[in-house]
Amino acid sequence: MADCCNQPGLVSIETAKALLLDAIKAVDDSETIPLAMAVGRILAEDVKSAVNLPPCNNSAMDGYALRMADAQTDGRLEIIGKSFAGAPFKGKLWPGTCVRIMTGAAMPADADTVVMQENVDSDGHSIRIRCDINQGDHVRRRGEDVIEGTVLAQAREQIAVPHIALLAAAGVGEVTVKRRPQIALFSTGDELRQPGEPLGNGDIYDSNRVALRAALEALDLQILDLGILPDNKAAITKALGQAAHAADAIITSGGVSVGEADYTREVMEEMGEIDLWKVAMKPGKPFAFGNIRGVPFFGLPGNPVSALVTFHQLVMPALMAMKGAEWSPPANLPAKLLSPLKKKPGRTDFQRGIFRNDTSGALVVEAVGAQGSHILSGLAAANCFVVLEQEQGSVGVGETATVVPFCRSFGAW
């Protein structure tokens, strides 16, 4: 395994991501579900269009449908009928005539042009065109959006709201999608309490499990919530064994460092394999990946900011791969720093920041303040990570830094 920055056992974040993606297999099984329920799901097969879109030539405006050849004469055009959306004109045009037409109404068979109602003088029986027009104006042509038989969405695409609109427009009622992987989730720590319980001296609320649950939901995964485990080797062994039986992957937080009450590593070594241990990222160095009886296992750090940053950077791409998705993270943006950022070379830093446009329109970013791995208020205020490369040192005001926006629902964009 590649060492970096002369710290034995530290793996760069790029190496860590590659190792994770290499180890993860996509779920095989699929199911057919109503399109309306499919947002966030991964298509198991290409979806082709059975129709042209638009299905027929139709008007983009309220106005008059005519033949361009007739419009070139200087006289008036007689209105011989009406075409409404859903109630097309059934007759034929003849020289010197036009049809009143509404937006979305089918074009009369031999009409090729629409003139907007604002651009004609009408007495109710005939019109005179008041402006220059071109053949094909304001006509939406059959198949100009989608031609029958073409692929609307591809296997491995994650269905988003715009896909739903496109597929629904093509009359698709059901889609075949990959099964949603089941993710077992638990927290470890004798100090953890459920929200609502009283806090004893030294206790804290279990925020990681609630936040990770919400993030897994945003990724449209199924969740097996196994609660809080005590710092007890036997309890952790039992829970991991049960989880490996029931789930496609296991996520825990806490207990992965080298303290006296950190049992996760020991249990993993006994029940499975550890592929990866320390990642050169900040926050988030103690991150474990491996498997328990063949089931992928992600051991997140206990510190709440570290847990969410490692989830976002390492676990999310792996879970998207497990869902069967062809997915890449959002593009990075260069932004000018409004506040100095302290950093020591050695680990890739994911500082929490707020990016925006300044008055000149330039992209600027400022850190949210304290950057400790327990400072949840900063993470809650942030809309991006400011990523400082592994070997980089501190950065000053006015320098350019890399901003990685994150979807605040933690769903995959």
Among Mg ion, ligand AMP, none, residue 209 binds (CB under 5-8 Å by kind): ligand AMP
User: At its nearest, how many Å lie between ligand AMP and the CB of residue 360?
Assistant: 41
Cβ closer to ligand AMP: 198 or 294?
A: 198
Cβ closer to ligand AMP: 238 or 374?
A: 374
Cβ closer to Mg ion: 57 or 187?
A: 187
Helix (H, G, I), strand (E, B) or coil at 38: coil
Q: What is the DSSP letter of 12?
A: -
Contact 266, 256 (CB under 8 A): no
User: At its nearest, how many Å lie between ligand AMP and the CB of residue 215?
Assistant: 13
Among ligand AMP, Mg ion, none, residue 97 binds (CB under 5-8 Å by kind): none
User: At its nearest, how many Å lie between ligand AMP and the CB of residue 401?
Assistant: 27
**Residue whose tokens read 């890739």:** 348
Q: Minimal CB distance to ligand AMP: which residue?
A: 302
User: At its nearest, how many Å lie between Mg ion and the CB of residue 186?
Assistant: 12
Which stretches of 207-263 are DSSP H helices? 207-218, 233-246
Whose CA is closest to 17, among 249, 317, 350?
Answer: 317
Specify the DSSP element, H or E, that contains 380. Answer: helix 376-381
Among Mg ion, ligand AMP, none, residue 208 binds (CB under 5-8 Å by kind): ligand AMP
User: At its nearest, how many Å lie between Mg ion and the CB of residue 289?
Assistant: 18
Binding site for ligand AMP (CB under 6 A): 187, 189, 191-192, 204, 206-209, 253-257, 259, 262, 301-304
Q: How far apart are CA 408 and CA 384, in angstroms?
A: 9
- For residue 313, the one-letter residue type is Q
Cβ closer to Mg ion: 70 or 231?
A: 231
Contact 105, 58 (CB under 8 A): yes
Q: How far apart are CA 388 and CA 375, in angstroms?
A: 19
User: At its nearest, how many Å lie between ligand AMP and the CB of residue 202?
Assistant: 9
Q: How far apart are CA 304 and CA 209, in angstroms?
A: 10
User: Tokens at residue 96, please?
Assistant: 């010197």
Whose CA is closest to 380, among 211, 219, 218?
Answer: 211
Among Mg ion, ligand AMP, none, residue 303 binds (CB under 5-8 Å by kind): ligand AMP
Helix (H, G, I), strand (E, B) or coil at 292: strand
**Residue whose tokens read 């695409």:** 157
User: At its nearest, how many Å lie between ligand AMP and the CB of residue 271?
Assistant: 19
Q: At what angle do helices 316-323 and 13-23 cross, to 10 degrees?
A: 20
Cβ closer to Mg ion: 108 or 286?
A: 286
Among ligand AMP, Mg ion, none, residue 207 binds (CB under 5-8 Å by kind): ligand AMP
Cβ closer to Mg ion: 86 or 202?
A: 202
User: At its nearest, how many Å lie between ligand AMP and the CB of residue 307?
Assistant: 7
Among ligand AMP, Mg ion, none, residue 248 binds (CB under 5-8 Å by kind): none
User: Tokens at residue 140, please?
Assistant: 């939406």
User: At its nearest, how many Å lie between Mg ion and the CB of residue 262?
Assistant: 6
User: At its nearest, how many Å lie between ligand AMP and the CB of residue 210?
Assistant: 8
Cβ closer to ligand AMP: 84 or 205?
A: 205
Cβ closer to ligand AMP: 9 or 259?
A: 259
Altogether, the residues listed in the chain come to a count of 413
Among Mg ion, ligand AMP, none, residue 404 binds (CB under 5-8 Å by kind): none
Among ligand AMP, Mg ion, none, residue 108 binds (CB under 5-8 Å by kind): none
CB atoms closer than 10 angstroms to residue 325: 21
Q: How far is CA 184 from CA 39, 242, 292, 380, in A?
A: 22, 9, 12, 25
Among ligand AMP, Mg ion, none, residue 241 binds (CB under 5-8 Å by kind): none
| CA 105 to chain centroid | 36
Q: What is the DSSP letter of 250?
A: E
Cβ closer to Mg ion: 302 or 317?
A: 302
Binding site for Mg ion (CB under 5 A): 189, 254-255, 302
Which stretches of 49-193 are DSSP H helices? 68-71, 161-169
Among ligand AMP, Mg ion, none, residue 182 binds (CB under 5-8 Å by kind): none
Q: What is the DSSP letter of 261?
A: T
